[in-house]
């Protein structure tokens, strides 16, 4: 990255798109700035007072057509900015429903802990393949952080108490900065690391390396340890919903709403089970686990719950739209 390039390296599909939008904005802003600077300079020179006693010029009180023109035209241009920006924003913050490679990131003063479904764990390092959508599930153990990868033009605050996600598809192998972008205390500026983008083959090799038990296995252990298994898998009395084939599918709640069982839903159901109760089940059966399971443990449990729902048959991009969760 040269100092004199205004763009940082582009290493994802979004980077290209964001840069295109940015270029558009630069051009508009450049033209507008040039126009105004030119007018100010030109008028200042052209109409300078040549003689102290010049009579005051004739007043010009305004012009309605002009006022309308310079309110409406800028606004039309701004609408383009808005729509283009919103489109990309929705795209970046809504991961594809299927076939993503999921990485679980936990922020903590002042480090990033990264876990892979296959069990690898890293601190301040992340490995991702090119050419495949990667979805990040972000959690925080203490304060708000922000997981920022300039080369992908993406960041999201990592808010304690909830999960945030975004996704990207890396394009250029290399090593790029991970930075913490939300002020989080003393060592905020040191809370960074590197993301290594690898060719798919290299990545597979890396992924096959040594692990200390996959996230799924660890999640399964926790599942047994906390006694979840007695209700949610083996139970036949119908006290709790079975968790087989739940993840990623719509769930009907007792208040009639439909939600999709995603990571945030599973997390909430563990920590605060009464918040969303599945239709036909009673409140207050399941214990409240708030404050009892670590953020990393939660993520492992979620991977285990996910594994109880084998991936749907590949349906590609034309997958039926997810059911609307909230009719209003």
Partner 1 sequence: MTHPVVPIKTYAAVFGALLALTITTVAVSKLELGEFNFVAAMTIAVIKGTLVVMFFMDVRRATSLTKLIVGAGLFWMAILFVFVLSDYASRGWLPGPRWF
Partner 2 sequence: MGDSEATLAVHEPGLKHHFDDSAQQFQSSTLGMWVFLVTELMFFGGMFGGYTVYRNMYPDAFASTSHFMNVPIGAINTGVLIFSSFTMVMAVRSAQLGQKKVLIAFLIFTLLLGCLFLTLKYVEYHEKWVDHHIPGPGFQYADTRYFHQAQILFFLYFAMTGMHAIHMIVGVGMLIVLISMAARNRFTQAWYTPVEMIGLYWHFVDIVWIFLFPLLYLIGHTK
Partner 3 sequence: MSTYLPFARTEARTNYLNADYGWKSWLFTTDHKRIALLYLFSITAFFFVGGAFAVGMRVNLLTPEGIFAHDTYNKLFTMHGIIMVFFFLVPSIPATLGNFLVPLMIGARDLAFPRINLLSWYLYMIGGAIALTAIVKGGVDTGWTFYAPFSSTYSNTHVILTAIGVFVSGFSSILTGLNFIVTIHTMRAPGMTWGRLPLFVWGHYATSLIQVLGTPVIAITLVLLGLERVLHAGIFDPAVGGDPVLFQHLFWFYSHPAVYIMILPGMAVISEIIPCFSRKALFGYTFVAISSIAIAVLGFLVWGHHLFVAGQSMYASMVFSLLSFLVAIPSAIKVFNWTATMYKGSISYETPMLYAFGFIGLFTIGGLTGLFLATLAIDVHVTDTYFVIAHFHYIMVGGMVMAYLGGIHFWFPKISGRMYPEGWARFAALIVFVGFNLTFFPQFILGYQGMPRRYAHYPPEFQVLNVMSTAGASILAVGYLLPIIYLGWAWRKGPKAPQNPWNAKGLEWEQSPTPPPTYNFETQPVVTEPAYNYSGESEEVGIG
Q: In the complex, which residues of this chain contact ligand CUA (CB under 6 A)?
A: 107, 110, 145, 180, 182-184, 188, 191
Omega before 110 within 30 of 0, i.e. cis:
yes
Q: Are strands 133-140 and 125-129 parallel, antiparallel or unpaired?
A: unpaired
Instruction: Select from partner 1, ligand HEA, ligand CUA, none the partner in contact with residue 259, using the beta carbon and a kind-dependent cut-off of 5 to 8 Å.
Output: partner 1
Partner from partner 3, partner 2, partner 1, none contacting 47, C-beta within 5 to 8 A by type = partner 3
Using CB under 6 A as the binding rule, whether residue 28 contacts ligand HEA is answered as: yes
Q: Are strands 125-129 and 193-198 parallel, antiparallel or unpaired?
A: parallel
Residues forming a β-bridge with 175: 196
Which residues are near partner 1 by CB under 8 A?
Answer: 87, 90-91, 94, 259-260, 321-326, 328
Selection from 288, 285, 283, 284 nearest residue 254 by Cα? 283
- Is 290 a binding residue for partner 2 by CB under 8 A? The answer is yes
Residue with smaller CB distance to ligand HEA, 25 or 264: 25
Q: Does 53 bind partner 2 (CB under 8 A)?
A: no
| Integer Cα distance of 67 and 138 in angstroms | 48
Tell me whether residue 282 or residue 324 sits nearer to partner 1 (CB atom). 324
Is the CB of residue 258 less than 8 Å from the CB of residue 252?
yes
* Sheet containing strand 174-180, strands side by side: 125-129, 193-198, 174-180, 145-149, 154-158
**Residue 71 contacts partner 3 per CB under 8 A:** yes
Region of 15-23, 88-96, 143-151, 281-289 interacting with partner 2 (CB under 8 A): 281-289
* 185 near partner 3 (CB under 8 A): yes
- Contact stretch for partner 3 (CB under 8 A) within 87-95, 198-206, 247-255, 308-316: 87-95
Residue 139, both tokens: 């959690």
Q: Does 109 bind partner 3 (CB under 8 A)?
A: yes
Query: Taking the CA atoms of the chain, what radius of gyration do you get in angstroms?
Result: 27
Question: Which residue's CB is nearer to partner 3, number 283 or number 328?
Answer: 328
State which residue, 100 or 124, has the beta carbon closest to ligand CUA: 124
Residue 43 contact, options partner 3, ligand HEA, partner 2, none, Cβ 5-8 Å cut-off depending on partner type: partner 3
Check binding of 32 to ligand HEA (CB under 6 A). Answer: yes
**In the bound complex, what is the minimum distance in angstroms from residue 216's beta carbon to ligand CUA?**
28
Assess 292 for contact with partner 2 (CB under 8 A): no
Judged by CB under 8 A, does residue 290 bind partner 3? Answer: yes
Which of residues 116 and 148 has its CB atom nearest to partner 3 in the complex?
148
Distance (Å, rounded) from C-alpha 316 to C-alpha 248?
15
Closest approach, Cβ 267 to partner 3, in A, equals 12
* Binding to ligand HEA in span 258-277, by CB under 6 A: none
Residue given tokens 């999709």 in the structure block? 260
Query: How far is the CA of 22 from the CAs of 9, 56, 85, 92, in angstroms?
Result: 14, 45, 10, 16
As a whole number of angstroms, the distance between CA 136 and CA 116 comes to 10
74 binds ligand HEA (CB under 6 A): yes
Asked whether the beta carbons of 166 and 197 are under 8 A apart, the reply is: no
Helix (H, G, I), strand (E, B) or coil at 221: helix
Dihedral sign (CA 284, 287, 289, 290)? positive
d(CA 68, CA 76): 12
Binding site for ligand HEA (CB under 6 A): 28, 32, 36, 74, 77-78
Binding site for partner 2 (CB under 8 A): 274, 283-284, 288, 290
């Amino acid at each position: 990255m040269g100092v004199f390039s205004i763009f940082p390296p582009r290493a994802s599909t979004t980077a290209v798109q964001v840069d295109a939008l940015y270029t558009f904005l630069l051009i508009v802003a450049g033209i507008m700035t040039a126009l105004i600077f030119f007018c100010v300079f030109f008028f200042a020179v052209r109409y300078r007072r040549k003689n102290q006693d010049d009579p005051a010029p004739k007043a010009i009180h305004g012009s309605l057509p002009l006022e309308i023109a310079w309110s409406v035209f800028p606004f039309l241009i701004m609408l383009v900015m808005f729509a283009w920006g919103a489109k990309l924003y929705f795209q970046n913050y809504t991961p594809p429903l299927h076939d993503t490679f999921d990485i679980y990131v936990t922020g903590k003063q002042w480090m990033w802990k990264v876990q892979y479904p296959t069990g690898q764990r890293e601190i301040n390092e992340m490995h991702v393949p090119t050419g495949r959508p990667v979805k990040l599930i972000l959690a925080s153990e203490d304060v708000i952080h922000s997981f920022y990868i300039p080369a992908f033009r993406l960041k999201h605050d990592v808010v304690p108490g909830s999960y945030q996600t975004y996704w990207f598809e890396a394009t250029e192998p290399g090593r790029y900065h991970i930075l913490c972008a939300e002020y989080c205390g003393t060592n905020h500026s040191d809370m960074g690391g590197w993301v290594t983008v690898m060719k798919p083959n290299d990545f597979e090799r890396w992924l096959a390396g040594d692990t200390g038990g996959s996230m799924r296995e660890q999640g399964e252990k926790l599942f047994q340890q906390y006694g979840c298994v007695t209700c949610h898998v083996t139970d036949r009395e119908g006290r709790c919903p079975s968790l087989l084939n739940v993840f990623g599918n719509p769930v009907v709640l007792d208040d009639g709403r439909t939600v999709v069982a995603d990571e945030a839903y599973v997390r909430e159901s563990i920590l605060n089970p009464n918040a969303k109760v599945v239709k036909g089940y009673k409140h207050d059966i399941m214990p409240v686990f708030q404050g009892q399971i670590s953020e990393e443990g939660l993520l492992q449990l979620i991977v285990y719950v996910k594994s109880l729902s084998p991936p749907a048959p590949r349906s590609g991009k034309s997958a039926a739209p997810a059911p609307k969760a909230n009719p209003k």
